[in-house]
């Protein structure tokens, strides 16, 4: 017999049966980024550690969407709080005297 996986074989990381091991965390350390929106997505990414490979896509897409939203928020100007714009942001031309 060949050692190659057949379509009937479970994917790596999936439960191999009632007695077999289930999904195992990769043990990849996640370091906080210092931005609450990004850090929340890093926490969400940890959810994939407990899922079979077939469930990873949903988590990855959710995290990607959250990170994209966090980046988009950086592109929006400062809110009505009057906080200064990020360095390198275009100057406001609404300065009337």
Locate 75 and state its tokens. 């592109």
Inform me whether the pLDDT recorded for 92 exceeds 70: no
Work out the average pLDDT over 40-68.
Answer: 90
The predicted pLDDT at position 7 comes to: 44
pLDDT at 64: 95
Q: Other C-beta atoms within 10 Å of 48: how many?
A: 21
Region 1-7: mean pLDDT is 45
- For residue 21, how far is the Cα from the chain centroid? 26
91, burial (CB in 10 Å: exposed 0-12, middle 13-18, buried 19+)? exposed
């Amino acid at each position: 017999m060949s050692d190659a996986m057949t379509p009937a074989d479970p994917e790596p990381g999936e439960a191999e049966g009632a007695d077999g091991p289930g999904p195992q965390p990769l043990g990849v350390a996640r370091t906080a980024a210092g931005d609450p929106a990004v850090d929340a997505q890093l926490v969400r990414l940890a959810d994939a550690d407990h899922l079979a490979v077939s469930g990873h896509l949903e988590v990855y897409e959710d995290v990607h969407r959250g990170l994209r939203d966090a980046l988009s928020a950086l592109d929006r100007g400062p809110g009505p709080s009057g906080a200064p714009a990020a360095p390198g942001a275009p100057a406001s031309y609404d300065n009337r005297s």
